[in-house]
Structure 1
Amino acid sequence: MKTLEYNSQKKLKGIFFIILSAFCFACMSIFVRLSGNLPAYEKSFFRNLIAFFIAVILMIKSKNTIKIKIKKQDWIDIMARAIFGCIGIVCNFYAIDHMLVADASALNKLSPFFVIIFSFFILKEKVKLKQIFFVIIAFIGMLFILKPGFAEISLLPALAGISGGMCAGLAYTFVRKLGSHGVPGAFIVLFFSAFSCISMIPMMIAGFHVASREQIVMLLGAGVAAAGGQFSITAAYTYAPAREISIYDYFQIIFITILSYFILDEVPDAYSFIGYLIILFASLAMFFYNKRK
């Protein structure tokens, strides 16, 4: 009985953190759009710079920092998480800059769908038929959001958005694997942030754009929001399996649409509202199914 209660508490914590990360990443997308026409790689650099310093502070304060021992196989997974996460961010930022923020966010939210697929092949996690059904429902809801403006979406930004979602899903799968191996979340974020910043430097040197004071403020806001989302989603996937909580990441679409309405004056249409309701239904159905199990 105690084991069941403990697992239930961990699952609820995972749900809380993944919804929190969805809100933080929604705020990040708004800040990225408000930062103007800076290159995606420059925005990516600032996005990860804040997370890097926060991770350094947490690692220094941690009493177990000296005791951290990373196995050889874990280093491979850490590197894979960093590479795919970095590619996913650049693709997502490119999509945000070249299409509606809500559409870009919806494409990026393919990541939970890819998480479940990759978790099956990489982590050997069992996936129940009902869980697949709920994810498909959420995916259909996302299509309702994209359908009205799909004809206006150019091919390259759309492909970038889908690629960003796929790479993010693969990166989060490795986060889940590293968490199950006991690798601290702060260290995962630290390595990923450092890798992302360093990998962006060559492109920034080749084509650096001077940002205005307002753009710097927006980039710093994006960095703070991204750091909150990064730590939250890292915590989420270390608390619970991807197949049980990844569906809640779709809340980001709802958050981004609300924020876009009040900040960017983007008004959703009837198809979008249908999509939101479908996604919310799928999320609630998944929650009650997991709670009953």
Structure 2
Amino acid sequence: MKATWQRIPPTMKGMILLVLAGAMFSCMHGTIRLVSGGPTSTEGLHPFEIAFFRNIFGLVVLLPLLWNVGFSTLRTTRFSLHLTRAVLQVFSMMMFFSALKISPLADATALSFLAPLFATIGAILFLGEKAKIRRWTALAVGFAGALIILRPGFQEISLGLVLVMGASAIWGGAMLIIKSLAKTDSSISIAAYMGILMTPMSLIPALYVWRTPTPEEFVGLFIIGAFGSIGHVMLAQAFKEAEATAILPLDFTRLIWAAIVGYLLFAEVPGLWTWVGGGLIFSAATYVAYRETRQN
């Protein structure tokens, strides 16, 4: 099996890993909705508690990988960046998990494509990156896609989708830090520090809403942690195997996976505007990434 994988061209490896990572994240999101009980349930676990278990079980899943590569991979001279990234991601995770409880999976996934656009805005405002008319146009197209999904004035804007946009904005800031960390630290190290730091951080809000999970819920929580950690490692490895411009178009499969999971588990059928808006946001994010890669 290992020999077969090694014979696959690097770009194809990156494509496969990116698509599989999207499937992992969509399955994780569906499981979060199940464990939280959905929008009308008061019996499921609170999203804050789910976030804590996602981090601790995700770390447990990563331990064999850390053991295999050696714990020396955790050595870093950039601990402050890991810490800042963890703080941002705790807030982003709690907001996004809260949104998943009350929002259709496909809508939440489509709006999450805004994160790279928020990262671009952050790079312009705080890192001094220059933006020409093409970049600004792409940003405008992306946020127009968000308006198409939200359709203010035509439907009531749900709290869940507002939370997704907030989570995407914070995640955009975390993406800038991850991009910097990837230059010096391994993908396993970056994922491990996420679990090591975010577990105690997410425990604090979880204690305020704590309810001891049932055995069935513990299984679901472990699945959430496993899917999340494996997905992040796959995603990081995908971008190490292949150029971003070669594989980014396949990231749109996340929306397809989300639609499939939403339909199978919750009988959700994404509307036309979700696909149109998601397509615009994704196209804008892909173009921004393409221009950035060419400039570098």
Same fold by TM-score greater than 0.5: yes
Instruction: Name which of 163, 166, 178 aligns with 2:166.
Output: 163
Deviates more, 1:132-141 or 1:216-225: 132-141
Aligned length: 280
Matched, 1:199 2:206: no
Aligned to 1:97: 101
Alpha-carbon separation, structure 2, partners of 1:139 and 1:245: 23
Alpha-carbon separation, structure 2, partners of 1:185 and 1:21: 14
Aligned to 2:72: 66
Q: Which amino acid aligns with 1:114?
A: F
Alpha-carbon separation, structure 2, partners of 1:222 and 1:287: 29
Alpha-carbon separation, structure 2, partners of 1:104 and 1:67: 34
CA RMSD of aligned residues (A): 3.7
Query: Could you tell me whether the CA contact under 8 Å between 1:86 and 1:196 is conserved in 2?
Result: yes
Residue deviations 1:205-239, cap 9 Å, x none? 34311323332222222212111222233335666
Cα 1:288–1:203 shift into 2, 3 Å: closer
SS at match of 2:182: helix
Residue deviations 1:75-95, cap 9 Å, x none? 121111111111111010111
Q: Which amino acid aligns with 2:264?
A: F
Matched, 1:57 2:58: no
Q: Which amino acid aligns with 2:149?
A: I
Alpha-carbon separation, structure 1, partners of 2:178 and 2:141: 25
Deviates more, 1:89-98 or 1:146-155: 146-155
Q: Could you state the TM-score of these two structures normalised by the residue count of structure 2?
A: 0.76
Query: Could you tell me whether the CA contact under 8 Å between 1:41 and 1:90 is conserved in 2?
Result: yes
1:202 CA displacement: 2.9
Q: Which amino acid aligns with 1:225?
A: F
1:246 CA displacement: 6.5
Aligned to 2:33: 33
Structure 1 residue runs without a partner (length 5+): 1-8
Identical positions, percent: 25
Q: Which amino acid aligns with 2:187?
A: G
Alpha-carbon separation, structure 1, partners of 2:173 and 2:129: 14
Alpha-carbon separation, structure 1, partners of 2:194 and 2:158: 30
Aligned to 2:117: 113
Q: Which amino acid aligns with 1:210?
A: T
Aligned to 1:270: 272
Residue deviations 1:74-118, cap 9 Å, x none? 112111111111111101011111332333333333212122233
Alpha-carbon separation, structure 2, partners of 1:67 and 1:231: 14
SS at match of 1:267: coil
Q: Could you state the TM-score of these two structures normalised by the residue count of structure 1?
A: 0.77
Matched, 1:88 2:95: no
Cα 1:154–1:273 shift into 2, 3 Å: closer
Query: Could you tell me whether the CA contact under 8 Å between 2:145 and 2:278 is conserved in 1?
Result: yes
Query: Could you tell me whether the CA contact under 8 Å between 2:110 and 2:274 is conserved in 1?
Result: no
Deviates more, 1:164-173 or 1:11-20: 11-20
SS at match of 1:29: helix
